[in-house]
């Protein structure tokens, strides 16, 4: 499958299966990068290898390389992955620098996913941002259950590091209620924020956000690929 056909099938949402919860994060990041291949990711609190997993899509379809960390063993230590190194470890005490070096990770990693529940903020604060940075971040704050404290601390840390909150309070729907559960960030050094202005929002559902890609630039982008 050539580059044009990969992108065409992805935009049509017919040939790719998404694996994140609510088909949200992986679909968003893939669209944001216009389905680039050979990227890199760090998936913290990755859970099972496939089910409700934010990085499996990139390993399976786009040939990305990455690291997954979870304190549970997952599905047989991720034997179904091609280019993922799985660590069964405590994300709050993990040696990220050595893991990055051992796996030849670049200094600018494309995607960071953090879903470590009550340990999310403690994990965020030990990631070696001084030596490594990320182009995109999806981070769970569970505001609908936890209230303001976790979200506020995350936003202070990431804002001070220079990240831009592109989609705040991303929601999922339960019993007709929209429940804020994540923030989605980008690095202004990796993206032209003006070109991403169509995504800037707060309190929108993941479906609403992802549908914006189809309306904004998919047809023009596909035309340029012909």
Give the CA count within 13 Å in the CB-facing half-sphere of 222: 16
Residue-level pLDDT at 72: 79
pLDDT at 221 over 80: no
Count of domains for the chain:
1
- DSSP-derived 3-state class of residue 48: coil
Residue-level pLDDT at 75: 56
- Strands 133-140, 177-186: pairing is antiparallel
- Neighbouring C-beta atoms of residue 77, cutoff 10 Å: 13
The pTM assigned to this predicted structure is: 0.90
* Averaged pLDDT of the chain: 89
* Structural domain for 7, as ranges: 3-225
CATH code assigned at 56: 3.40.50.150
Give 104-149 pLDDT, tens digit per residue. 999 999 999 999 999 999 999 999 999 999 999 999 999 999 999 9
User: Dihedrals φ, ψ of 169, to 5°?
Assistant: 55, 50
Residue-level pLDDT at 224: 40
Give 17-57 pLDDT, tens digit per residue. 899 988 899 999 999 999 999 999 999 999 999 989 999 99
């Amino acid at each position: 499958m050539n580059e044009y056909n990969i992108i065409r099938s992805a935009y049509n949402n017919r040939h790719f299966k998404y694996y994140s919860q609510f088909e949200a994060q992986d679909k968003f990041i893939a669209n944001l990068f216009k389905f680039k291949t050979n990227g890199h990711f760090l998936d913290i609190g990755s859970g099972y290898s496939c089910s409700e997993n934010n990085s499996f899509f990139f390993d399976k379809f786009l040939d990305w390389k990455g690291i997954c960390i979870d304190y549970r063993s997952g599905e047989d230590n991720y034997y179904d992955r091609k280019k993922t190194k799985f660590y069964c470890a405590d994300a709050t005490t993990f040696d990220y620098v050595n893991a990055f070096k051992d796996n030849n990770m670049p200094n600018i990693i494309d995607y960071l996913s953090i879903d470590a529940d009550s340990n999310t903020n403690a994990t965020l604060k030990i990631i070696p941002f001084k030596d490594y940075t990320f182009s995109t971040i999806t981070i769970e704050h569970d505001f609908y259950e936890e209230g303001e404290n976790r979200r506020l601390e995350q936003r202070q840390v990431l804002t001070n590091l220079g990240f831009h909150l592109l989609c705040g309070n991303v929601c999922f729907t339960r019993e007709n209620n929209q429940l804020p559960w994540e923030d989605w960030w980008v690095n202004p050094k990796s993206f032209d924020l003006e070109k991403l202005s169509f995504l800037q929002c707060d309190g929108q559902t993941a479906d609403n956000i992802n549908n914006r890609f189809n309306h904004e630039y998919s047809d023009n982008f596909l035309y340029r690929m012909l």
